[in-house]
A and B are shown apart, each in its own frame.
Chain A
């Protein structure tokens, strides 16, 4: 069997006296939607920050197709094919929706600064290609109508989709979604669930997703890992995880009322 797309091996992160992540391991296979759940403060976002290079780990390793990428700069990891969204939305608020995507598209295709300054035919072709891709993504995520507006003026749900569009624009193989359904109403959550499935098909994505909304993950994910106080307490298919007594105790609560 070939190496998994992403492997997290014994990954740890300590903040002073707090061990936010304690030797967490799992692997995401190509084409898979992999869910990460856990109560608040379980270390989910910390784990994302370690994987995307935002924070260096204090122990363990991250592997991309079997090669170590631990502690590399975020832009290098993005160029490898790993793109993320942020739980608390970090759009370029002063730029238009379209420009947010053009920023992410700057290496697709690449063009030299000299060609850009001189406005050569090659540069114009590259710009047209970027614009085409940007408009395609805007249509795909139902953002085309607001393309010229500053990103900061969009409604919350639109901002969430714009973050996904911006991450997709960097042509990732693995998309890291940090609580994409946070703040959405139930109908929007359903739409999002469908959208993520469609995007995976169309862009040949693997997805690693953090989510609080458990029913959504149960439906969407091929496999799940459960974190609690920085420790991975369960790993497996949704059905198995749902029945795991440790998970029920730590996260889903006992008895009924799981969402």
Chain B
């Protein structure tokens, strides 16, 4: 029932879940992930179809090093955009930040739709393929997810991650403890954007075509649902949420049109049944996964 193509999509979903999680770990509700995803994807689509130096072949093949370069460039461009935008929007708090980031998603969507070189509503198609089949994408998607997971895991054990957790609990108290809260929030926002940008670059090749519909407000809500269902207190939560909620609509396909209703019900009932999300620090502790440093 789960084929390789769906598996890749699930991994991409998990990556986008982590992208929403990172600012949230610093208490910032940003819905900008699809904007950065769209920026990364559009850049990869443009580069691989227009820039022959990257080595796209006449038969639609694409060298692996060029793909890696695109992942890096997609992340970089999204990160730069986040750096510029973040300075402005991170002054806002709570729901106001969420609204400003929705505006960013819209601006990027309309820009991609109307720019002279992004292919309008049709978008960019025949994006060259570095792999012969969907299975080939599993490895880079898994590698990217492993890298992102490792980053989140490391954050927990270093000052930056602790500063983020402190800001989530009480921003004023954190700043009175010497934490440059603006800088920490901006760092989390940029990390989130880099991750979404790289994910977009990979997705552009995987999907073969790319257009403005890849980064919409709908996607903002879906990716937020990954985090809400999975849980926002550990990085494993959004990963599980992203995997499950990406798979669910496909797995429900046999039941026909009711599937979207069922999908909606899961999103609706998830927070009722598990308000903290499916994966909580308490659960991980019970599973014996992560012991904290004991008293020396």
CB distance from A78 to the nearest CB of B (A): 4
The answer for the CA separation of A186 and B205 in the assembled complex, in Å, is 71
* Majority SS at the chain B contact face: helix
In the complex, chain A residues whose CB is within 8 Å of the CB of B187: 113
Q: Are B177 and A78 in contact (CB under 8 A)?
A: yes
Q: Looking at the complex, which one of A54, A90, A102, A169 makes contact with B170 (CB distance below 8 Å)?
A: A90
Q: Which B residues touch A91, using CB under 8 A?
A: 169-170, 173
Give B14 Cβ to nearest chain A Cβ, in Å. Answer: 21
Residues of chain A with a CB closer than 8 A to B158's CB: 111, 113, 116-117, 123, 127
Tell me whether B58 is interfacial, beta carbon within 8 Å. Answer: no
> Given that A75-B179, A106-B178, A106-B179 are contacting pairs, would A111 and B159 also be in contact in the complex, using a CB cutoff of 8 Å?
yes
Whether the pair A54, B178 counts as a contact (CB closer than 8 A) is no
Interface size (A, Cβ < 8 Å)? Answer: 41
Is the CB of B180 closer than 8 A to any CB of chain A? yes
Contact, CB under 8 Å: B175 / A73: yes
**Interface size, B (range):** 20 to 34
What residues of chain B lie closer than 8 Å to A123, measured between beta carbons?
158
B154 within 8 A of A: yes
* A79-B178, A106-B179, A117-B151 given; A131·B293 CB < 8 A: yes
CB contact under 8 A between A119 and B154, given known A74-B175, A92-B166, A111-B159: yes
Does B162 sit within 8 A of A, measured CB to CB?
A: yes
Query: Using a Cβ cutoff of 8 Å, how many contacts connect chains A and B?
Result: 98
* A135: chain B residues within 8 A (beta carbon): 295-296
CB distance from B294 to the nearest CB of A (A): 9
B108 cross-chain contacts in A, Cβ below 8 A: none
Which residues of A51-108 are within 8 A (CB) of B? 52-54, 73-75, 78-79, 83-84, 86, 90-96, 99, 102-104, 106-107
Distance, CA A113 to CA B275, complexed state (A): 33
Chain A positions within 8 Å of B, measured between CB atoms, are 52-54, 73-75, 78-79, 83-84, 86, 90-96, 99, 102-104, 106-107, 111, 113, 116-117, 119, 123, 127, 131-132, 135, 144, 147-148, 166-167, 169-170
25 A–B contacts, CB within 8 A, in A order: A74-B175, A74-B176, A75-B176, A75-B178, A75-B179, A78-B175, A78-B178, A84-B176, A86-B173, A91-B173, A92-B169, A94-B169, A95-B166, A96-B292, A106-B178, A106-B179, A111-B159, A113-B187, A116-B158, A116-B160, A119-B154, A123-B158, A144-B295, A170-B177, A170-B178
Nearest first, the 4 A-B pairs at minimum CB distance are A116-B158, A106-B159, A78-B178, A90-B173
